[in-house]
Amino acid sequence: MSKLENSPIRIKSFQFACDIVFFTRSLKEKKEFELASQLLRSGTSIGANVREAQRGVSTKDFKNKFGIALKEADETKYWLELIEATSNTDCKILIAKCDELMKIMVSIIKNS
Length of the chain: 112
- Condensed to tens digits (0 to 9), the pLDDT of residues 65-86 reads 999 999 999 999 999 999 999 9
Superfamily of domain 8-110: 23S rRNA-intervening sequence (1.20.1440.60)
pLDDT of residue 6: 84
pLDDT of residue 28: 96
Enumerate the domain spans of the chain: 8-110
Q: Are 11 and 48 in contact (CB under 8 A)?
A: no
Query: How far apart are the C-alpha atoms of 5 and 103, rounded to whole Å?
Result: 20
Residue 102: is its pLDDT beyond 60? yes
pLDDT greater at residue 3 or residue 22: 22
pLDDT of residue 57: 87
Averaged pLDDT for residues 19-31 = 96
